[in-house]
Chains A and B, each alone.
Chain A
Amino acid sequence: MATTTADSKPASPSGRPSKSYANLLRELAITDYKIKYQGSFLGGYIWTIAKPLLIFGVLYLVFTRFVRFGNGVPNYAVNLLLGIVLWTYFSDATVRAMASIVERGDLIRKVYFPRMIIVIATSLSSLITLAFNLIVVAVFVIFSGVGLQLTAPLFVLLVLELYALTLGSSFLLAALYVKFRDFKHIWELGLQLLFYASPIIYPLSFVPSRYQALFALNPIAQIIQDSRRVLISPTTLTPLDVIHSPLVVVPYAIPIVVLVVGYLYFESAASQFAEEI
C-alpha cells in the first residue's frame, strides 16, 4: 500500500517495478536522440559527427594558419579535437537538460514517474552523440601517428567523471530553470566563460606557470588534460603536475559534489514541478 500525505514524497503508482522505469528511461533517451535530428536532410549520424568536426576545422584553421600558435604544439590537431568533443558534450548536454523538464511539462502534469528520468534520459541521449564523436577521435588518434597509449583504458573513468559532472549540473539547471527562466542566459554566459577558462583551444602549458594551478582546479580542465594524457601524450600537464598541495583533490571532487548537490536539490523541487510548470 502506498500512502501520500502532505509531507511524504508522492506515492509512486504503487507496486510499479523499477524495471519499468528503466524501460521508460531507455525509450525517452532514444526518443530524445531521434527528435534532435528530426527532419534533417543528412540524418542524425552525420550531424552528430559533423558539428564538432566543423568547429574543429574552423578553430584548427584559425590557430594554425592565422594566429599560428598551434604550430608549436605537438599533436595540436588531435588535442584540439579531443578537447572540443568533450566540451561539446558537456555544453550540449547541460543546455538541453536544462530545458528538459519544462519541455516535457505535458508529461509531468499528466503522468507520475520519477522526474529525474527525464533529465537522465536527456543526458544519455547526448552520451550517444559523444560515443559517435569519440569514434572520430579514435580514428584521428590512430591515423595521426600518435598511436594508442597503454593508459587508454583509464579514459573510461574520465568519461564517467565527465558524465557525473554533466548529470549533476543538469539536475541543478533543470530544477532552477523551472523557477527562473533567466538561467538560460546565465548558463549561456557561464559556458562562454568556462570555454575560454578551460584549456580547449590552447594547451595548459601556455598558461603562465603561476596561474596553472588555478586553471587546473576547474574539473573541465582536469578532465580534458587527463584525457589528453591517457590518450595522446604522457607529457600533457595534469593537475597532479601543477597543483602541489592537497588541493589537488578539488577538481576530482567537484563532479561528485555537484552530482550529490544537484540530485538533492532536484529531488526536493521535483514534487512541485507539476504545479509550477
Chain B
Amino acid sequence: MQTDVAISIEHLTKVFRVPLERTTSLKQLAARGFRPAGSRRLEALQDVSIEITRGEFFSVIGPNGSGKSTLLKIMAGIYRPTSGRVSVTGLLSPFIELGVGFNAELTARENVFLSGAILGLSRSLVAERFDDIVRFSELSDFMDQKLKNYSSGMLVRLAFAVAIQAHADILLVDEVLAVGDASFQEKCFDVFRRFKKEGRTIIFVSHDMGSIQEFSDRVLILNHGRPRGIYSPAGAAVEYSRLNEEHANRLLSDSKAAPTSATSSRPRIVSVEMLDGNGQTTHAIQRGQSATIRLKIANPQREPVNAGVAIYRDDGLHCFGTNTVISHAAVPTDAETVLLLDYQCMDLQHGTYWLTVGLFGGRLGTVYEMLERLYSFHIGQSDAYEGVVYMHHQWRTPDQPPQLAH
C-alpha cells in the first residue's frame, strides 16, 4: 500500500434512481400491486478515477449539477458508490457544508458543543478551545443568543470557527466561502494556508475559479458527471472558460437549429463575448476596470429589435440589466449587426458572474431569443470591501472638503 495516497478513487460511478412518482404512501404502493415504481436513471458520476496525495490541496470545479457534491459525499461515506471503489487513508473530517446540525433554537454556545460533537470533537476539547473559537468568529458578544437571531454571515463565521478545529488529516470543504464578507474570506484563506503548511489534505469543491486558482495544487473539472481532466490551476482556468464557451456555443447553435422556416428568418444572436480594455476577449476582469460586451445579431428580415444584457451573480442574484429600449439606443436594422455595450467601471465585487442575453421585438413584446447563463466571467478584487457592488465613497470629518463629484 502506498502510504502517500490520502484518497484513491477507481472507476467510481454513481447512479441515482429518481422515481417517476414518489411513493410515500402504502395506498400508492398497493395501487401498483406492490411493484416498484418506474424510475429514471440519473448518472451523477461516471467512471471517475483520481488519486489524491497526502498534503495536497485538490479542487473540484464544475457547473451546477456536474456531480461535484456527489463526489464529495461519496468520499465522506454519505452515499454509496454504484460501482467502483473509494479508499481513504487517514482521519477524514465530515465538514462537507458549514453549520450542519446547527439548531436555531439553541444558543450559539450550545451549538458550538453540538457542532463540535458532529465533527467528532470531545466536549472537553471543545471547552478547551472555546475561547479560540469565539475569538476567530468575532462573535464574543453574541454567544448567548439563540442562533435564530443570527444573520447568515454570523452563522458562517461561527460554523467555520468550529469546523477548523476538526482533528482530521483530510478535510472535505464544499462551497464554504460562498457567504461571508471579503475580510472573513481572507481569514478563511489564512486557515487554508496554515492547513496546507501542516500537511493536511484538503479537497475543495467550488465554482469560484478565483479561490481555486489561489490554493490548488491540482484541479479536477467535472462536466455532467464525467471527469474532463485534471489540470494545473492555470490550466484549469483556461479549460474551465473553454467549457463555459462550449456551453454558450451549444446554446447559440441550439437556437440556430430552430427547425421551422418561420423561426429561421427571425432575428437571432450569433455570438456574445466580453472584451477587456485592450479589445481582447476575456473571462476575468479586475473590479473597477472597463469592459465591453460585443453582441453579433443576425436579422434577415431587418425587423426592429431590442437587445438586452443582464448580469447575474453565480448564486442567481440579478446585479444589473439594461436593454436598448430603456437606454434609448438605436439598433441598426441591418441583416447583420454588431452591437457594443461599454461598461465604464465593472464595480461588482469579487465572484463569478454570468451574462444573460435577450433579443426582443420592438418593445419587449416578442421574445426572439433569451439565452440564460450564456457567458461567464470572474471579477477579482484586491481590497477587503464587502457587499455586492463597490460604492464610490469617501470618509471625512466636517472640516474636510468633499472630494467626490456630485
Which A residues lie at the B interface, using CB under 8 A?
1-6, 8, 10-16, 19-20, 23-24, 26-28, 31, 34-35, 38-39, 106-113, 179-182, 271, 274-275
Residue B391 is within 8 A (CB to CB) of chain A in the complex: no
Cβ 8 A contact of A110, one of B81, B92, B96, B121: B96
CB pairs A–B below 8 angstroms (11 shown): A4-B80, A4-B87, A5-B84, A6-B82, A6-B83, A11-B88, A12-B77, A28-B117, A31-B110, A108-B78, A274-B78
Residue B106 is within 8 A (CB to CB) of chain A in the complex: yes
CB pair B78–A16 under 8 Å, yes or no, is no
Cβ 8 A contact of A10, one of B1, B77, B101: B77
CB pair B121–A20 under 8 Å, yes or no, is yes
What CA separation (Å) do A5 and B86 show in the bound complex? Answer: 7
Which B residues lie at the A interface, using CB under 8 A?
1, 16, 23-27, 29, 73-74, 76-94, 96-97, 100-101, 103, 105-106, 110, 113-114, 117-118, 120-123, 168
Contacts of B81 in A (CB 8 A): 4-6
Smallest Cβ-Cβ distance to B73: which chain A residue = A274
Which of A1, A110, A113 has the largest number of chain B CB atoms within 10 A?
A110
Contacts of A106 in B (CB 8 A): 100-101
Besides the known contacts A4-B85, A34-B105, 8 further A-B residue pairs in the complex with CB atoms under 8 A apart: A2-B88, A27-B114, A31-B114, A110-B94, A111-B96, A112-B78, A180-B23, A275-B79
Smallest Cβ-Cβ distance to B111: which chain A residue = A31
CB pair B96–A1 under 8 Å, yes or no, is no
Contact A1 B1, CB 8 Å, known A23-B117, A27-B114, A35-B105: yes
CB pair B90–A15 under 8 Å, yes or no, is yes
Contacts of A109 in B (CB 8 A): 73, 78
Distance to closest chain A CB from B19 (angstroms):
10
Contacts of A6 in B (CB 8 A): 80-84
Number of contacts between A and B (CB, 8 Å)? 136
What CA separation (Å) do A73 and B172 show in the bound complex? Answer: 64
CB pair B25–A13 under 8 Å, yes or no, is no
CB pair A14–B120 under 8 Å, yes or no, is no
Smallest Cβ-Cβ distance to A8: which chain B residue = B80
Contact A27 B82, CB 8 Å, known A10-B77, A182-B25: no
Contacts of B123 in A (CB 8 A): 23, 26-27
Contact A35 B103, CB 8 Å, known A1-B87, A27-B114: yes
What CA separation (Å) do A109 and B23 show in the bound complex? Answer: 20
Distance to closest chain B CB from A113 (angstroms):
7
CB pair A111–B74 under 8 Å, yes or no, is no
CB pair B24–A27 under 8 Å, yes or no, is no
Which of B1, B78, B123 has the largest number of chain A CB atoms within 10 A?
B78
Distance to closest chain A CB from B304 (angstroms):
51
Contacts of A24 in B (CB 8 A): 117-118, 120
CB pair B100–A110 under 8 Å, yes or no, is yes
CB pair A4–B77 under 8 Å, yes or no, is yes
Contacts of B29 in A (CB 8 A): 180
CB pair A13–B92 under 8 Å, yes or no, is yes
CB pair B91–A20 under 8 Å, yes or no, is no
Contacts of B24 in A (CB 8 A): 179-182
CB pair B86–A11 under 8 Å, yes or no, is yes
Contacts of B106 in A (CB 8 A): 31, 34-35
CB pair A16–B89 under 8 Å, yes or no, is no
Distance to closest chain A CB from B41 (angstroms):
13
CB pair B101–A107 under 8 Å, yes or no, is yes
What CA separation (Å) do A16 and B119 show in the bound complex? Answer: 10
What CA separation (Å) do A14 and B114 show in the bound complex? Answer: 21
Cβ 8 A contact of B78, one of A10, A23, A181: A10
Contacts of B92 in A (CB 8 A): 13-14, 16
CB pair B79–A274 under 8 Å, yes or no, is yes
Contacts of B114 in A (CB 8 A): 27-28, 31
Contacts of A182 in B (CB 8 A): 24-27
Contacts of B89 in A (CB 8 A): 1, 14
CB pair A27–B117 under 8 Å, yes or no, is yes
CB pair B77–A11 under 8 Å, yes or no, is yes
Smallest Cβ-Cβ distance to A21: which chain B residue = B120
Smallest Cβ-Cβ distance to B89: which chain A residue = A1
What CA separation (Å) do A39 and B278 show in the bound complex? Answer: 62
Contacts of A20 in B (CB 8 A): 117, 120-122
Smallest Cβ-Cβ distance to A34: which chain B residue = B106
Contacts of B120 in A (CB 8 A): 13, 16, 20, 24
Contacts of B1 in A (CB 8 A): 1
Cβ 8 A contact of A4, one of B86, B96, B105: B86
Contacts of A14 in B (CB 8 A): 88-92
What CA separation (Å) do A274 and B70 show in the bound complex? Answer: 11
Cβ 8 A contact of A5, one of B85, B100, B103, B168: B85
Contacts of A112 in B (CB 8 A): 76-78, 94
Contacts of B118 in A (CB 8 A): 24, 27, 107, 111, 113
Contact A16 B91, CB 8 Å, known A4-B80, A23-B122: yes
Distance to closest chain A CB from B10 (angstroms):
9
Distance to closest chain B CB from A13 (angstroms):
4
CB pair B100–A111 under 8 Å, yes or no, is yes
What CA separation (Å) do A39 and B103 show in the bound complex? Answer: 14
Contacts of B79 in A (CB 8 A): 10, 274-275
Closest 7 CB pairs of A and B: A27-B117, A10-B77, A112-B77, A13-B92, A20-B120, A111-B94, A15-B91
